[in-house]
Structure 1
C-alpha cells in the first residue's frame, strides 16, 4: 500500500459517512483522470495540454450553469452545486497538471511548495468543504498534511519520476548536500545521498506533524479516516529511513501488518504523533 498521488485521500472509504462517498468519488474521478491526461500513455505534450484545456472548458460551463459535454462532469457539476465547492480549487489542480507536462525540475523548495499548493492542497480543501469545516486553522492544517503527503510520494518515487524525466528534489538541496543527478541515474546511495534524503524526510515529517491536530478536530468517522492517512504517511517516512534512504531498490510500501498497527496507533493518536 504505497502512498500514491491521489490514493493519499479517502475514496469512498467505509469509514466515511455514506452521504459523502459519492461526492468524494466525483472529486477523485476528476483529479485522477486529469492527472492521467498529464502523465499517462504516449500522448504528445500538445495533446496533453489540449485535453486539460477541455477540462477547463467544462469547469467554465459548470460555472455558467450550462450543460457539460464530458461524461464525468455532469455528476461533478451536481456535487459542486450541492456542496457549494469553489471551482477555483479544480482549476488549481489543472494548473498543476499542466505544469507537469512541461516542467521537470524545481530550483527551490519554494517552487515545490507552490506546486503542491496547487497539486495537493486543493483536494484537502475540497474535502473540508464537504465536511463543513472549511475554516482556519483547519485549512492550514489540511494544507500541511496534503503537501507532506505529496512530498512523501516524491521521496518514495525518486526513481520512478526519473524514468519520466522528472526530478522533484529541489535543485538547491542537491547542491547544498553535494548530490548530483548522476546519483539518481546511477541509483547511487552514498553518504551525501543519505544526508540529503534525511533532510527531505525530516522536513516532510515536520510538515505532517504541523497538521496533525486536524484529524481530532473533525467529527466521527472522518476524523478516524484522517488519522490513518497521517499515520500512514509518517510510517512511509520511517520506512524510507529504515532502508537507508535507498528508495531505488526498496520502494517503501505498507501492508496488512502496517494497517493493523496503524489502527492501534489511531486509538492513541495524539501520543502516536508526538
Structure 2
C-alpha cells in the first residue's frame, strides 16, 4: 500500500462531500465507520457514496440512463480517466492507496439493474444471489481498506453484506411493497399461505411473521458466519466493523420488540441503543479472542 496522505489532504473537499452522503443516508454506518483511522474512514465514505448514488438512481429516480452513465464512468475510471465529480476524485485516491478490486463495483451496478426489471425471487438461492450483487459486493469493495488479508476472507465479507441486505429487506417490507416489490421468496410465502393481499394489512399475519422469522434466522446465521474473518481484519478496523455488524443486526431485535410493525412504518435502532452497542464492542472482541 502506498502512502498517499498528501492526496487525501489535497482532496479534502471531495472526501467531505462523501462524508456528508453517508452521514445523511446511513447513521448506522457513519456511527460505526467514523471510528476508523481518518484515511480509512474517508475511504469507506467514498465507497459508500458510490453505492448510494447507484442505489438512488434506481430506487428514487428510476433513471436507467444515468445508471448507464455511472457504468460508463466506471469503465473510464478503470482505464485511468477520472470523471470531474467528488465521488470519483475521492475514489481515485482510495484506489491509489489500497489494493482495491474494481469488479465488485461493476457487480453493484449489475445489482441495481436487477431492480429496473424487478422479479420476485423464486427461492432463497435467488434472494441470496440478488443480495450479493447489491450488498455482498459492498463487503468486497471495503475489504482491502479494512484488511491486509483481503484475499483470504472474501466469503465471510460477502456473507456480512448479504446479511445486512436481508436485514434491509425485512425492515423495509412495507416500503418495498408500495414500490411494487416483494423480495421475500415465492416458495416460502406459498409454503405458509402468505398472499399478496396480506402486505396491505396494518399488522402482519402470523404466517407472514413466520416467513419473516425464517429469513431473520438465516440472516443471523450469516452474521455469525461472517465473524470468522475478524482476526484477519486489521486491528485498527475491528471495532468499527464489529460495531457496524452489531448495530445493523440489532434492527431485527427492534422489529421483534415492536411486534413486527414493519408493514406501515420502518423501525430503527435508537441512538441510545447504538451507544450501548458501541460500548459492548470491546468486550465482544475480547470474548472472540478468547475463543480463538
Report the TM-score, using the length of structure 2 for normalisation.
Answer: 0.81
Q: Does 1:135 align with 2:155?
A: no
Structure 2 partner of 1:26: 46
Conservation of the 8 A alpha-carbon contact between 2:33 and 2:241: no
Indicate the RMSD between aligned Cα atoms, in angstroms. Answer: 2.5
Conservation of the 8 A alpha-carbon contact between 1:58 and 1:70: no
Conservation of the 8 A alpha-carbon contact between 2:82 and 2:92: no
Distance 1:149 1:268, change over 3 A: same
Structure 1 partner of 2:58: 38
Distance 1:91 1:7, change over 3 A: farther
Structure 2 gap segments, 5+ residues each = 1-23
Q: 1:214: how far off? A: 2.9
Structure 2 partner of 1:117: 132
Structure 1 partner of 2:34: 14
Distance 1:62 1:27, change over 3 A: same
Structure 1 partner of 2:195: 180
Report how many residues are paired: 264
Q: Does 1:240 align with 2:260?
A: no
Give the match's secondary structure for 2:115.
helix
The residue correspondences of 1:11-160 to structure 2 (distance < 5 A) are 13-41=33-61, 43=62, 48-68=63-83, 70=85, 72-131=87-146, 132-136=148-152, 138-160=153-175
1: CA distance, partners of 2:275 / 2:82: 46
Q: Does 1:166 align with 2:205?
A: no
Could you say which structure has the higher helix fraction? 2
Distance 1:81 1:246, change over 3 A: same
Q: 1:218: how far off? A: 2.1
Distance 1:124 1:8, change over 3 A: farther
Distance 1:268 1:74, change over 3 A: closer
Distance 1:194 1:5, change over 3 A: farther
Q: 1:70: how far off? A: 4.8
